[in-house]
Amino acid sequence: MIGYTKTSSDVISVTFAARELYENITLENLEFYRKDKENKYEIWSLYIIACIKLLKKAKKSLVREQRLQRTLLVFEEAKDGGHLTSDLYIKWIDVLFNSGSPDKALVMSKSAIETYPGSLELWNKRLSLLISSGESIDKIQDELKQAQKSVPQTETWSLVQLVLNHAMKIDAVDTTVRLLESSMIGRSELSSPAKEVYLEYEYLKHGIQHARKIYNRVLQFKPVSLQFYKSYISMELSQANPKMKIIRSVYEEAVTEHGSKNPDIWLEFIKLESNHSKGKPENVGKLHYRAVKALDGALNQEFIKKYTLLQTNSC
């Protein structure tokens, strides 16, 4: 909603007006709407949506082609008048792509980004089109770099993830590693998920030895998410002969970094020592003491309740 409080009658009247315009498109028809400066984006949005709905309803090829050309004409007129939002550009790109013109859709995505360079959705659309068109991974990565310069870094992980998934799918190992390496040294919104993906990628592709190397490398770029520690612990525990010294050291890193805010990581450490065949039950008392000292207030009480329940169930 832009500029005014819209009632249901407003929606109906404007939609019918859009239908009437659609059936009788001329530049003169648009003059009234062009003069409505306050609500121009909403008027054009309703108009374009009405055109797209009619296009989708067309069953005969001739009617569909006529409506397609009229719809594209409306987009062009809206663009020339500066009335297209980033969302409407995406609709335009979709119409082109779905009508069998992926090359035109790709060209339009570039034009749209020139108008709205900071739009995450438009960059997502452009990168997706480049991927589906079979563009080289180097070209796609170059485009991603441009996106990262234009979109706030805190919002770019979905774009990185899109390119990463494609790079992994086509087994572009060098590109995958470069992306993960560059991503894990940025802000936490980007680096935390990148570190987790990097660990899992190396583990699945090369096994535990490579995962250990990545774990040690990632520790150089703290903070590290609690999920990263948990994932790595799970990998180590899944080995035929788990190395308890390594696992304990990972738990120590985890409680050092997250132990003051997360009771559960202490409890998991305690369960390891209590229940694992290679655990050391004599360490449980020390871990309990450290947890109580590290946690404050409600978190402290939560730990005590869960620990008591754990002890009760183990009896």
State the burial class of residue 19 (Cβ atoms within 10 Å of its Cβ: 0-12, 13-18, 19+): middle
Per-position DSSP letters for 187-199, written without gaps between them? -HHHHHHHHHHHH
Report pLDDT digits (tens) over 162-209: 999 999 999 999 999 999 999 998 777 789 999 999 999 999 999 999
Alpha-carbon distance 25 to 182, whole Å?
Answer: 51
pLDDT in tens, the chain (315 residues): 333 343 444 333 444 445 555 455 444 444 555 555 556 777 788 888 888 988 988 889 898 999 999 899 989 988 988 889 999 999 999 999 999 999 999 999 999 999 999 999 999 999 999 999 999 999 999 999 999 999 998 899 999 999 999 999 999 999 999 999 999 987 777 899 999 999 999 999 999 999 999 999 999 999 999 999 999 999 999 999 999 999 999 999 999 999 999 999 999 999 999 999 999 999 999 999 999 999 999 999 999 999 999 888 765
Q: What is the torsion angle, in degrees rounded to the nearest 10, for the CA atoms of residue 10, residue 16, residue 20 and residue 23?
A: 140
Q: Are 250 and 257 in contact (CB under 8 A)?
A: no
Report pLDDT digits (tens) over 75-87: 998 898 888 999 9
Among 213, 143, 152, which residue's Cα sits nearest to residue 181?
213
Among 163, 177, 243, which residue's Cα sits nearest to residue 205?
177
For the four alpha carbons of 169, 173, 179 and 185, in that order, the dihedral sign comes to positive
255-271 burial by CB neighbour count: b if 16+ within 10 A, else e?
bebbbeebbebbbbbbe
pLDDT at 35: 55
Alpha-carbon distance 130 to 31, whole Å?
Answer: 37
| pTM for this model (two decimals) | 0.81
| Cis amide prior to 242 (ω within 30 degrees) | no
Alpha-carbon distance 120 to 123, whole Å?
Answer: 5
Q: What is the 3-state secondary structure (H, E, C) of 95-136?
A: HHHHCCCHHHHHHHHHHHHHHCCCCHHHHHHHHHHHHHCCCC
